[in-house]
Structure 1
Amino acid sequence: MDPNLLYWKAEGQSFLRRLRIWVNLLDPTLLLSSDPEIQRAHSLFGSGEKLNEKDEAALTISLSSVHSDSGAALPLIFRPPALFPATGPLVVASLLPHSTVKPALFWQFLLQSYSAGFNFANRNSSSEQGQSISLKQLLLITGTISYSTCAGALPQIFINRLGVRSPAVQTFFRSILPIPLSATLAFFNVFTVRSEESETGIQVFDHNGNPVGMSKAAGEKAVRETALSRAALFGMTAAVPNLLVLLMKRVRPFQRNSLLVAPFRHISTALVLGLMIPISFSLFPQLGTINREQLEEELQAAAVGRHLFYHRGL
C-alpha cells in the first residue's frame, strides 16, 4: 500500500480530521513544487522513518501532489491545490446570466473539460498500471464533455429558443434550474469518466495493507462516493449564491442599485466554492472501507478480517 494511503488509514477516518488535513493540502503555493522535489518528498515519506518538524513539509507535498496508485506526480493543473484557482473563474462565468447561447456553451465547455480531466487524473488507476489510455476511455471522456456542455447550457437555450420574457420564468431558468443541473452534471461527469473502475474493479487491501485482489464492488462504491461528493460541491456552489441573490434583490440598497448584484454574485460564488472544496473532499474517507460480505465470492474466501480497504480516488 502506498505511503499516502497508509497515512489516510491512520489519520483520515473522521470527517473533522480529514477536513483539517485537506485545508492544509489545498494551499496553492504547493503547486510551486517541482517534480524532483515531489519524488524526494514521497520517498522520504515512504521510508518509514519518523518525520521531524522540518520533514512535515514533505508529507504535505506528497499528499497533495502524488497519485496514490502509481506513485507518480500528478499533472500540475490537475493537482488538488489547483482545483480552486482553475475552476473558480469557470464556475463564476458559467453561472452568469448570459444574453446568448454561445458564451454559455463556451464556459460550460471549459468547466466540463477541466472537470473531466481532474476526475480522470485523480481516479483509482490500480487496474491500469503500465497501460495507456484506451480508445474506449477517450471516447467516453469526449462524449461526457460534449453532453455535459450542452446540458449545462440548457437554461440559456430555453430562454433564447422559447423567447422567454416573463421575469418569473427567467428567474426559474437562471437561478433555480442551475442548482439541480449543476449537481447532476457533476455527478454524471465523475460517474462516466471513472466508469471503467466499476467494470474492471479496483485493488482492495486487508488491514495490514496487503493487496487481496481486484473488486468491482469496491470500484462501484469508490465511484459513487466521489460522484456524490462532487455533486455536493457544485450543487452547493450553485445553490447558495443564487438563493442569496434572490433574497438580496428584495433588500432596498440592491433595489436602488442593481449594479451591486453582479459583484455580490461573483464574490459569493467564489467564497462558497472555496469553502466547499475541502468539505466535499472530506465527506468520504480517502481510504474507504467495504464489508467483506459486499465483495465478490472469490475475494471473500481470500480476505482476512471483516473490512477491507480501497483507494477512493478524488
Structure 2
Amino acid sequence: MLLAVLYCFAVPNKYSVLTCFQRFCCWIDILNPFYVFTSKKKIDNARMLLLDARKNNTDSLQDEKMKKAWMLSVASVNPISGEIMPAIFRPPAFTLCTFPLVITSTLMNRNVLHTFLSQTAFHAYVNGFGLENGNCRIRTNEAGTEDVKKLFVQNIFPVFVAVTYSSLMGTLPHFFINRYKPQRPSVQFLFRNLIPGPLTATVCALSLCVVRNREAEEGIQVMDSKGNVVGVSKKAGEKAVNETALSRAALFGTVLFVPDLTLHFLKRRSILLQNPFSFTLIRWATIVVVLATMIPVSFSWMPQLNKIKRNELEPEIVSSTEESELFYYRGI
C-alpha cells in the first residue's frame, strides 16, 4: 500500500509525531515548484526505490537519495489510489495556481459578471485540488472505464454545486458595492476589507465538505502502526474532512483578511500608499508573502497521517485490533 510506504517508511508513525514546525520544514521542501514538472518516469523510479527499500527493511530517510524519492512521491502521488496526480493538482502547483486566482478574484474595479467568473475559476481549482488530494478521488474501474452516472453523482455534481454556491457567495460583497454604491467609508471598509476574508474562509470550508462528502458517507481506510489496513471507518472519514476544511478556511481566510486589513490602516499613514498603482503593487506583494507562508502552515498544521483512538471507531474495527491508536490519511 503506497500510503504506508510514503508515511510509515522509515519508522511507522514517525511523520505523525513530528512537531508542527518540523512538518512545516518538510512541506517547504515538498512544495518545491520543480516537482510540478517531474516526468512520470522519475516519479515511478522514486516509488520503486521506496517500495524496494521498505521490503528490505531499510531504515533510510536519512539517506539523501531516499529522502528526495520520498519527497517526490509525496508531492506527486495520491497515497490512497497510488496514482500519479495531474501536474496542476499536485501540492507544489498549489501556490503557483492559487496566486493569480486569488488576485483576480479580489479585484473590485470590474463588473459583477467578471467577478463571478473569477470566483468560479478560483473555487473550481481549489475544490478540484481538494478532491484530487483526498481519500475518494476519481477512479476508474478494473476495465479502465468509469460508470458515467456514478461519476456524475459522486464527483462532478457535488463539485458543480460547491463551485456555484461558493462563487455566488464570493460575489456578494462586490455586488453590494456595485449595486448600492455606498458613500460611507465605514460601509466600504466593511464590504471591501472585513467581509471577504471570513466569507471566503467559510465557503471554502463548506465546499470542501461537500466535495469530499463521500469520505464521511463511505468511510476511509484506517491503519495500524505497521501500515496494515484494519478497516474502513466513516468516523475517521468525517474527522479527516472536518480537519481539512478547517485548515482550508484558515488558509484563505488569512490570505484575504490580513493583507487588506493591514493595508487599510497603512494607507492612512503612508503617502506612498495614497497612490493607487503603488497600493495595488504592495497589496499583491503582501498577498504573495502571506499565501507563500500560509500554504505550508495549513498543510503542516495537522499531520496528513493523523491519529484516531480505537474507541472512537466503529465496533467492527475495535474488535479487529488491539492497538489503542490507529492512523488515517487526512488529505490536503
Fold shared, TM-score > 0.5 on shorter chain = yes
1:109 equivalent in structure 2: 120
Task: Trace 1:1-314 onto structure 2 (pairs within 5 A).
Answer: 1-2=1-2, 3-7=5-9, 9-13=13-17, 14-47=19-52, 48=54, 49-51=58-60, 52-125=63-136, 130=141, 132=146, 134-137=151-154, 138-254=156-272, 256-314=274-332
**Are the counterparts in 1 of residues 37 and 87 from structure 2 also a CA contact under 8 Å?**
no
Deviation at 1:127, TM superposition (A): 11
Tell me the number of residue pairs that the alignment of Structure 1 and Structure 2 aligns: 314
**How far has the Cα of 1:164 moved from its partner?**
2.3
Residues 30 and 81, structure 1, Cα contact 8 Å, conserved in 2: yes
Deviations 1:123-160 (A, max 9, x none): 11399684846221211111111111111111011112
Aligned amino acid, residue 224 of structure 1: N
After superposition, the Cα gap between the structure-2 partners of 1:187 and 1:21, relative to the gap in structure 1 and judged at 3 Å, is same
Q: Cα gap change, 1:274/1:80 in structure 2, threshold over 3 Å: closer, same or farther? A: same
> Which runs of no fewer than 5 residues in structure 2 stay unpaired?
none
Higher alpha-carbon deviation: 115-124 or 56-65: 56-65
SS at match of 1:153: helix
Aligned counterparts of 2:138 and 2:306: Cα–Cα separation in 1: 17
CA contact (8 A) 1:144 1:192 kept: yes
Greater shift in the superposed pair: 118-127 or 240-249:
118-127
What is the deviation of 1:50? Answer: 4.9
The answer as to whether partners of 1:127 and 1:203 remain within 8 angstroms in 2 is no
Tell me how large the CA RMSD over aligned residues is: 1.9
Give the secondary-structure state (helix, strand or coil) at the position aligned to 1:289. Answer: strand
**1:94-134 Cα deviation digits (max 9, x unpaired):** 12223321221111011001011101100113996848462
**Is the CA contact (8 Å cut-off) linking 1:287 and 1:312 kept in structure 2?**
yes
The verdict on how the C-alpha distance between 1:37 and 1:255 changes in structure 2, with shifts beyond 3 A counting, is closer
- TM-score, normalised to structure 1's length? 0.94
CA distance in 1, matches of 2:237, 2:331: 10
Whole-angstrom CA distance in 2 between matches of 1:256 and 1:160: 22
Does structure 2 conserve the Cα–Cα contact (< 8 Å) formed by 1:248 and 1:254? Answer: no
Superimposed CA distance per residue, residues 12-71 of structure 1 (whole angstroms, 9 cap, x where no aligned partner): 422112111100000101112111211110111121245443343222211111110111
Distance 1:285 1:213 in 2: 20
Q: Mark the CA change 1:205 to 1:157 in structure 2 (over 3 Å): closer, same or farther.
A: same
